[in-house]
Amino acid sequence: MRSISFPGQGRIGLVDRPEPQPGAGEVLLRIQRTALCGSDCKLWQRGTELVPGHEIFGTVDQPGHARHGQRCCVFIPVHCGHCASCTRGDTHLCLTDSVLMGWNRDGGYAQAVAVPEQCLLPVPDDIDDDLAPLLLDTIGTAAHGLRTVAPLVPPEEAEVLILGAGPVGLGGLIAAQEMGYRRIFVSDLREGRLALARSLGATPHPVGDLTKRFDLVIESSGAHAARNQGLEIVWPRGVVLLIGENDAPWTIEEKKPIRRKDFYMVRSFYFPKSDLAANIAMLRARRDDYRRFVDLRFGLEDFADVFPRFAAGQLVKPLLAP
């Protein structure tokens, strides 16, 4: 099969690899779409021997298997199913396994991938191929974070600031609206993404502004400056929700606006499998809005041209269609 390689230092290759051979408890998934994700820029720069790509949707190709022909997204975390986290339903927080599809084992920038059966998330037929991958990071990660903190910041009268209008930030905008938040502001340096957020009902807010406070700050960019801004401008007893990612060490300067205040800082990672039905319902409710995130569909042969454009913020949610 053909697949993408990330040798490192921002290089991209299109290579032939043996087709995956599913092991015990696994199936072969023919990939229909894999959404590009900004977190893959880390692998793009440092390199990996694995096939990258983790926002995967495809069709099970396992003749004789009960799930043959089923349309499925791929749940990223491989999980044991019996640790304390898994048994309470937190399948994304497994204490035994630390394996992520597209990170520690081959992912979806290819024509096929071997997937543990436990990681198959069935997709209903009324969700078309171009929207299915949005059930993962764009909807799943953002909505799970908001479900986690909503009891701390009830929607009534709350003002929300989203720092970063990438796919997860825009997903957070829609999720917040669906959960009843109405006064939502968005900051982003990219005018195109800010315009999209505005068209979805958000109010633009100046990047780096410290003059206005918010009850809920959703940090989706992963930028340390944005994280520190959120800690300063959140209201007392408010919440800073961290859903952006950054591998670099983060230093917090404990200034007076941070030190002399009660507030919550919540880190939220991905989502549990039990969120799937709610995420599908959210996608159905705002189908036309989510469709606006998908600004390009392309093949493997165009990957080397498209990924740098995406990494530079010129595209919102392009889809690889192998």
pLDDT along the chain (322 residues), means of 10: 97 97 97 97 96 98 96 97 96 94 97 98 98 98 97 95 97 98 97 96 97 98 96 98 94 92 97 98 98 97 98 96 96
Q: What is the pTM of this model?
A: 0.95
Over residues 173-187, the pLDDT tens digits come to 999 999 999 999 999
Q: Which residues pair with 234 in a beta bridge?
A: 214
Structurally, what CATH architecture does the domain formed by 142-267 represent? 3-Layer(aba) Sandwich (3.40)
pLDDT value at residue 247: 87
pLDDT value at residue 285: 98
Over residues 159-174, the pLDDT tens digits come to 999 999 999 999 999 9
Which one, of 196, 250, 182, 192, lies nearest residue 219 by Cα?
250
Tell me the domain boundaries of the chain: 2-130+294-320, 142-267
pLDDT value at residue 180: 97
pLDDT value at residue 98: 87
Beta strands in the chain (DSSP E): 2-8, 11-16, 26-35, 55-60, 71-74, 77-78, 99-100, 112-116, 120-122, 159-163, 183-187, 203-204, 214-219, 234-242, 264-267, 297-298, 319-320
Structurally, what CATH architecture does the domain formed by 2-130+294-320 represent? Alpha-Beta Complex (3.90)
Which one, of 280, 314, 311, lies nearest residue 196 by Cα?
314
pLDDT value at residue 265: 98
DSSP state for residue 137 in the 8-state scheme: I
pLDDT value at residue 249: 94
Q: Give yes or no for a contact between 138 and 283, defined as CB atoms under 8 angstroms apart.
A: no
Contacts of 160 (CB under 8 A, 6+ apart): 176, 181, 183, 184, 185, 214, 215, 216, 217, 218
